[in-house]
Amino acid sequence: MTAEIYRDAWGIPHLRAGGVADLARAQGRVTALDRAWQLEVERHRAQGTSASFLGAGALPWDLLARRARIDDTARRCFDALDSDTADWVRAYVDGVNEGLAEGAQRAPEFARAGAGLCRYAAPPRGATSHDGAAADRRHIPATSAEPLAPGRWEPWTPLGVWLAVHLLFAGFPAKLWREQVVRQLGEDAVGLFAADGPGTSGSNGWLVGGERTTTGAAVIAGDPHRFIEDPGIYQQIHLSCPEFDVVGIAVPGVPGIAHFGHTGTVAWAITNAMADYQDLYRERLRRTGAGVEALGPDGTWVRAPRHTEVIEVAGEEPVPVEVIETERGPVIIGGPEGLDDGTPEAVSLRYPPRVTGDLGFDALLPLLRARRVVDVDRAFDRWAEPVNVVMAADTEGGLLHRVAGKVPVRGTANRTRLVPAWEPGHEWQGWHEMPYGELTDGTAVMANQRGPSTPLGVEFAAAHRADRIAALLKEKEKWTAGDMPAIHMDTHLGSAGALLEHLAALDDLTPEATALRDRLLAWDRRMDADSTEAAAYAAVRGAVVRRLAEHPAFVALAVPPAYPEAFLPWLALGPRIGFALGHLLRAEELYGIDRPATVRAAVEEVAGRLPGTWGESHRLAPWRALPGTSYDEPGLSGDHDCVLCTSSVPGTTDLAARGPAARYVWDLARREDSGWAVPFGASGVPGSAHHRDQLPLWTRGDLVPVVTDFDALIKETDV
């Protein structure tokens, strides 16, 4: 036996092979068959070449990818892998290359792109979530009548995909926002906007120890929150060979199962630790006859290597980009001549894989081979990026709650703002020890709130989701795996209190506004799709946000600096106010803004044009590389601060571009009692039977059963 591909009733691939390398090759091949278009998009994003076939709308990302040197960093990290991991990654890449041609024939997007039917550039990932704008409607003329041919993967491409997916994950552009806030409003204003902002990604996760379950064995459950993409960013998969048998949720284009897995005897899951591990340095650069020099902290000018690359743009002229790297890191903003508006500024990015040549891939095989919690713990000692909070449990009662990754030791200023490269005291001085957490009453909850990773971060998610999950877990003494989806789907909005307090204090309203106020004060604070009160609350909240954003006190924040377009979502005033609304409404004083008058005006406005139900406007809005595919996406329950975190952007859009990119329940008593679901389906091929068959389950909170018995599966082929 080399390798066999099986499928369950949901089209989820189950792979069995005689060895680790053959299994990796099969995983690469089946991913290429199911997700060829997605792999092509991710390869180009890692290389900074996506504008070559997606058009000018993809150019901002390509510029960032080139300047940040994603592809070169991936090569460095691949060269530093241990030999076993390197061979394993090569086998996966071999499988991808074997399956791409057949996968591309199945995927209609290749023909659309090649025939010039990609007429409009897709918006950047998350653009709808940040600014509510429609897709960028720039016309791209047809350039070819032939289908786009998939490109060849290099051994380091999976590492590039991982870097591209996670470069912005820690939200380093938030430092640009803080700099802007301090410049315009002063140091004290930064805390007002502290929130889980529009650029961050999070997750829910919880662990229930055996003493709190009916079986006496632990249960782990949760859901990672990311921008919802079609095809989905996560891939359900089952990997089996003599060394291990693991079910889990993989990242297409990356071998193994990194984030959420169950080996039968041990299971693990992660959430974003909200750690700060990337720094931005203001650079002083000058041109010389030999190239470019940067001023260092010892007062000397040091040569900064530079070269020029050219980005091809479908339907437009190629765009040259100067790539400069100082001793701190690649220059991602500005250059020797400053910003596009002439402002004399250059900013470099320092991030761990670029410094160490280690992306943490040496942890992936040990995770697959893990048998007990101690094995998972040891594997995560090798983890690098992103920095995560990990929970694990095994069938012998072992439990784990820890932080994993690389966070540099450096001065406090580095963690909050841009720091001057030419001044001493901002150097990295080693790495933090990763902290461990504890269980409380037999449970642990992680929802990006302050917890074991507190010493490593600056801004964390508000505690609403974590507090709600903890409160729900206290409602029963004993839990089962089957109880967990109800927690996934909880819609209580803990952050509603600040606005409702202001509403309660209002009097002398019009009769219509008085009736609306009374309805909202009696509301159960659940953001259910069929709730008219939830829709009315969201409408009042949005009106408050818009009025605050238009106030003269914040007008200076409405115009961002001339930074590259890729960073503008983090600098958008409306979303920043929307996600920090609780802080702004409860602050002791807010720059002279009359908040009661603002809330009064908002409730009077909404009372005059009451919305329908929440689900009518709060609809799923997934990102697709090629726009134009029309689906009637469902209305959703939930909201940003609900456990059911289907994020809208208050004041900008009710559409949900971010939410649970997967759901899982890992049962340590019996793996077959576990469950999982993704927003769409196992296949990335539009029109296929398993492209969108999980969407109804995902929408209502049901899970697909985990199947591990190969006799219960349908054999597809040998590879």
Give residue 115's pLDDT band: very low, low, confident or very high (50, 70, 90): low
Q: Which of these ranges, 129-143, 325-339, 564-578, has the smallest mean pLDDT?
A: 129-143
Q: Over pLDDT 70: what percentage of the chain?
A: 94
Span 463-491, average pLDDT: 97
Give the angle subtended at the CA of 164 by the CAs of 162 and 170, to the nearest 5°.
90
Give the range of the structural domain holding residue 601, as residue numbers without chain letter: 492-525+532-612
Residue 657, both tokens: 């571009």
Q: What does the pLDDT average to over 235-249?
A: 98
What's residue 143's pLDDT?
44
Whichever domain contains 548, its CATH number is 1.10.1400.10
CB 223, CB 204: distance < 8 Å = yes
Position 130 scores a pLDDT of 37
Q: Residue 274: left (phi > 0), alpha (psi -120 to 50), or beta?
A: left
Strands 266-272 and 3-7: unpaired
- pLDDT, residue 125, reads 61
Do the strands 399-404 and 244-250 form a parallel or antiparallel pair, or are they unpaired?
unpaired
Closest CA to 365 of 666, 21, 43: 21
Share of the chain above pLDDT 90, in %: 90
At 644-703, the pLDDT tens digits run: 999 999 999 999 999 999 999 999 999 999 999 999 999 999 999 999 999 999 999 999
- Once rounded to an integer, what is the mean pLDDT over residues 396-400? 97
| The pLDDT of residue 124 is above 60 | no
Q: What is the mean pLDDT of residues 89-116?
A: 93
**What pLDDT sits at residue 137?**
30
Confidence of residue 718 (pLDDT cuts 50, 70, 90): confident
pLDDT-derived band at 465 (thresholds 50, 70, 90) equals very high
Domain assignment present for 177? no
Residue 576 located in a structural domain: yes
With a cut of 50, say whether residue 273 has pLDDT above it. Answer: yes
Q: What is the CATH number of the domain that holds 88?
A: 1.10.439.10
CA distance 449 to 441: 18
Residue 98 to residue 401: CA distance in whole angstroms: 39
Kindly tell me if the per-residue pLDDT of 510 is higher than 50.
yes
Rounded to an integer, the average pLDDT of 339-367 is: 96
Q: Is the pLDDT of residue 133 over 60?
A: no
- CA separation for the pair 609, 125 (Å, rounded): 32
Task: Give the model's pLDDT for residue 127.
Answer: 47
pLDDT at 119: 38
Please report whether residue 71 resides in a domain.
Answer: yes
pLDDT of residue 138: 33
pLDDT score at 201:
56
Mapped onto helix, strand or coil, the DSSP state of residue 610 is coil
Residue 359, in any domain of the structure: no
- Supply the pLDDT for residue 48: 98
Q: What is the pLDDT of residue 131?
A: 37
d(CA 677, CA 698): 6
> Final residue of a domain: which of 149, 168, 187?
168
- Per-residue confidence band for 472, with pLDDT thresholds at 50, 70 and 90: very high
- Band (pLDDT 50/70/90 cuts) for residue 362 is very high
Average pLDDT over the chain reads 93
> How far is the C-alpha of 48 from the C-alpha of 224, rounded, in Å?
26
Higher pLDDT, 141 or 26: 26
Residues whose CB is less than 8 angstroms from the CB of residue 700 and which lie 6 or more positions away in sequence, other chains included: 489
Q: Provide the H-helix boundaries in 505-640.
A: 511-522, 532-550, 568-571, 573-579, 581-586, 595-607, 614-617
Per-residue pLDDT at 559 exceeds 50: yes
Amino acid letter, 675: G
Residue 162 domain-assigned (yes or no): yes
Give the three-state DSSP class for 141: coil
C-alpha span between 406 and 387 (Å, rounded): 7
Count of structural domains, the chain: 2
Residue 634 lies in a domain: no
Average pLDDT over residues 479-489: 98
- 198 pLDDT higher than 80: no
Is the whole model's pTM more than 0.75, yes or no? yes
Q: CA–CA separation, 680 vs 94, rounded Å?
A: 27
> pLDDT tens for residues 72-88?
999 999 999 999 999 99
Question: Residues 452-464: what's their mean pLDDT?
Answer: 94
How many angstroms separate the CA atoms of 21 and 118, rounded?
37
What does the pLDDT read at residue 136?
A: 34
Overall average pLDDT of the 565-592 stretch = 94
Does the pLDDT value for residue 369 go beyond 60? yes
Last residue of one domain, picked from the residues 153, 168, 183: 168
Q: CA 112 to CA 146: how far, in whole Å?
A: 9
503 part of a folded domain: yes
DSSP track, 305-374: -EEEEEE--TTS--EEEEEEB-SS-BEEEE-TT-STTS---EEEEE-HHHHHS--SGGGHHHHHT--SHH
Q: What stretch of H or E contains 379?
A: helix 373-380
Report strand pairing: 3-7 vs 443-446. Answer: unpaired
For residue 344, the tally of other CB atoms under 10 A from its CB is 11
- Summarize the confidence of residues 314-329 as an average pLDDT: 97
Last residue of a domain, one of 568, 596, 612: 612
Section 403-422 average pLDDT: 97
Look at residue 402 in the predicted model and tell me its pLDDT: 98
Q: How many angstroms from the chain centroid is the CA of residue 229?
A: 11
What is the mean predicted confidence (pLDDT) over 180-195? 86
